[in-house]
């Protein structure tokens, strides 16, 4: 396999690097290999692919999750631009409950970010015109979606913002903080 990976500060969250092959014709990259996840003991069988395009730098999307029985694991891949991806552990009883793991992803570097069940996912764009595609192993179910505030002081994500003003929609800005959330996940 032409895949390397790094388990982040929460070991269930994985930054994956797929090798990119380049020649005079252009580039080629394997995007998804089920056997890679199986080799890590992860059952991940995507059923839906989503595409997100953000016009502006410093756009924050998330932190999103989907409740059981349609809870989702996700594999996010950057297509253009760069972003900071974050997963927050929402599993009650987990030693990392309320903690986050994050990584900077760049287009052209082969980066992918795996988010397991029981985590909320979000990202902040670091360039204009950033695009991300992600695979989910359950279909989108709007009646089961939920979220956690991106700026919750209890989670204290170190977004790479400095004093920048962010673009965030009203729905994401209105999500509850972790202390107000009755998490549907447990270990």
Active-site annotation, residues: 64, 134
What does the alpha-carbon distance between residue 112 and residue 106 come to, in Å, rounded to a whole number?
9
Q: Please say whether the beta carbons of 183 and 94 come within 8 A.
A: no
What does the alpha-carbon distance between residue 47 and residue 37 come to, in Å, rounded to a whole number?
15
- What is the phi/psi pair of residue 152, to 5°? -65, 120
Q: What is the residue-wise DSSP string for 165-181?
A: PPB--HHHHTSPPGGG-
Pairing of strands 91-92, 185-186: parallel
What does the alpha-carbon distance between residue 104 and residue 73 come to, in Å, rounded to a whole number?
19
């Amino acid at each position: 396999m032409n895949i390397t990976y790094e388990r982040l500060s929460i070991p269930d969250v994985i930054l994956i690097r797929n090798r990119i092959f380049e020649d005079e014709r252009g580039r080629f990259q394997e995007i998804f290999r089920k056997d890679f996840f199986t080799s890590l003991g992860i059952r991940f069988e995507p059923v839906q692919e989503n595409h997100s395009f953000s016009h502006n730098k410093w756009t924050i999307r998330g932190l999103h999750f989907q409740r059981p029985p349609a809870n989702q694991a996700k594999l996010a891949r950057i297509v253009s631009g760069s972003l900071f991806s974050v997963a927050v552990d929402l599993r009650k009883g987990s030693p990392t409950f309320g903690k986050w793991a994050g990584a900077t992803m760049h287009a052209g570097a082969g980066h992918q970010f795996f988010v397991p069940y029981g985590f909320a996912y979000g990202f902040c764009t670091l360039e204009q015109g950033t695009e991300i595609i992600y695979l989910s192993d359950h279909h989108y179910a709007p009646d089961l979606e939920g979220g956690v505030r991106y700026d919750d002081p209890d989670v204290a994500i170190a977004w790479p913002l400095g004093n920048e003003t962010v673009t965030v929609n009203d729905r994401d800005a209105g999500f509850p903080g972790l202390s107000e959330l009755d998490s549907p996940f447990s270990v």
